[in-house]
Amino acid sequence: MKSNWKVLALIAILSSAVTLAAYNLLGFNKRDVVFNESSSIPAITGRLASLNGPTAAPGDFSTAAEAVTPTVVHIRTTISRTVRQQQVPDIFREFFGDEFGGGGRPRRQQGQASGSGVIISKDGYIVTNNHVVQDADVVEVIMTDKRSFKAKVIGTDPLTDLAVIKVDATNLPAITLGDSDALKLGEWVLAVGYPLDLESTVTAGIVSAKGRGIGILSRQQQGEQPDPKADTPIESFIQTDAAINPGNSGGALVNLRGELVGINSAIASATGYYSGYGFAVPVSLVRKVSADLLKYGNVQRGYLGIMPIELNSTIAKEKNAKVGRGIYVEKVVENGAAQAAGLKQGDVIVKMEGQPLDSDAQMREIIGRRRPGDAVTVTINRDGSERDVKIELRNRNGGRDIIKKSEVTAANTALSSLGAELTELSAQEARQLGVSGGVRVKSIRDGKLAETDIEEGFIIVKANGKNVKTVKDLQAIMNTVQEGEGLMLIGMYPNSSRMYYYAVPV
């Protein structure tokens, strides 16, 4: 039942309320955005880095609703993608030619989608979900007073499903950032947004749970252990029973003082519409991610450098752990932050920054608020005794420096040009197929692969004559391809031992 619940949550991401084409915003690949060096950014990051006082005194729902509604905007996007028409059987093509049904040739299709956003500064910076603006050709922001602006995407972060956009306006009503850590179970909250393409809508509910990980952003859907050096989604949602629906994505979750405590992102539903629970990214993460996107153009992540396993009584018995709750250290990354601080395989992290640690989602959220070079204090249980250890987080390269957006963009541009969602084979799948590893084309949305005959499910085992076991292998190979050169992909389809060869223009 638990795994089924995650599947229901996964299909219920709040992407669009109105579509002219049958596609899902979560399915598109990353888009490159330009960091806007603005003189107003220092002031904004300062605002994001500190708590502000309430804009409205505690009271009934109307006080918070009146204060917040003008700060929540309607976002409409226009998105183009390449689609392939159905391949025509040879017998029909012989009589009617390739124009009959399109002959499998790609064509461009345009669609529209709808979501919400929250104004965080008077000069036009707005926080929303990544999946609301991802790959959009045009982003339009409509205020509660009906004014409309074209918006520029400043930065996106798929790993937290957050994005910052900017409109050219001044003296806008800006929301006050609250404290999601201070939220209590059962506390009243309001969800404000534009569900189902309606006008501004306010609903009320309570905080049902905190630190909820639902697997909706995770790429590890096959049960494999995550790569401790890889970027992994940060899911530590606030769960609420305030009614939210498609179109609420990117809208505000606020307390009764009118302070932002979360950005509404997903629902748990078998139908895609509200059926009891919604999930919001806590403002603790919103504050840090937004500040990074504004200051650096990309999110600066600190890494602990361990392979974590969330303990329960069963796993604790299997691992011979002395405690039944916490994060078991399955592996310590060589030359990583944890190794430098003295952590060892078999240690159990029971506290982080003084907070009892019960879940992997909770740990990732605490670390997700910090940057390389920041220190975190962890309490570990080693062989039954506890000790405090201070760990200085490192960047993805093992250092403490800021990683510039240009470095990240250069590494990802070539791979993203394929326009596909890629997943790595598990060890079990590789054994069953008789290969040492490979990368599966899970879905094709746009880009270079949409212009070939490659079908979803294709497993890449070689690229330009080199073995491909991981997505990073494929990325490294593509980064060596010069402009005008091609990419030869070799692989197979499930249930077939035949090898297929595809030439991909790059």
Using DSSP's 3-state secondary structure scheme, residue 429 falls into: helix
Residue 208 falls in the annotated catalytic set: no
Question: CA 323 to CA 327: how far, in whole Å?
Answer: 10
Phi, psi dihedral angles at 331 (to 5 degrees): -155, 145
Q: How many helices (H) and strands (E) does the chain have?
A: 12, 25
Token match 């501004």: residue?
200
Question: CA 194 to CA 236: how far, in whole Å?
Answer: 24
Question: CA 116 to CA 129: how far, in whole Å?
Answer: 8
Q: Under 8 Å CB-to-CB from 347, ≥6 apart: which residues?
A: 328, 329, 380, 381, 382
Residue 376 backbone zone (phi > 0: left; psi -120 to 50: alpha; other: beta): beta
Measured at the CA of 424, the angle between CA 422 and CA 425, to 5 degrees, comes to 130
Q: Which helix (H) or strand (E) holds 474?
A: helix 471-479
Residue 161 falls in the annotated catalytic set: yes
CA 38 to the chain's CA centroid: 26
From the candidates 74, 131, 269, 347, give the one annotated as an active-site residue: 131
State the amino acid at position 3 in one-letter form: S
Question: CA 20 to CA 380: how far, in whole Å?
Answer: 53
Residue 131 falls in the annotated catalytic set: yes
Q: Under 8 Å CB-to-CB from 205, ≥6 apart: which residues?
A: 188, 189, 191, 240, 241, 242, 243, 278
From the candidates 16, 121, 200, 249, give the one annotated as an active-site residue: 249
Could you tell me which of 457, 458, 467 has the C-alpha nearest to residue 491? 458
Token match 């220092």: residue?
42
Half-sphere exposure in the Cβ direction for 233 (13 Å, CA): 19
Could you tell me which of 269, 236, 268, 240 has the C-alpha nearest to residue 253? 240
* Bind-site residues for substrate: 131, 161, 247-249
Q: Which helix (H) or strand (E) holds 268?
A: strand 259-268
Alpha helices in 278-390 (DSSP H): 283-295, 313-319, 337-341, 360-368
- Do the Cβ atoms of 238 and 214 come closer than 8 Å? no
- Do the Cβ atoms of 118 and 260 come closer than 8 Å? yes
Local structure of residue 295 (DSSP, 8 states): H
Q: Which residues of 440-469 are buried (b: 16+ CB within 10 A; e: fewer)?
A: bbebbbbbbbbbbebeeebbbbbbeeeebb
From the candidates 123, 161, 292, 473, give the one annotated as an active-site residue: 161
Report, as residue numbers or ranges, the catalytic residues.
131, 161, 249
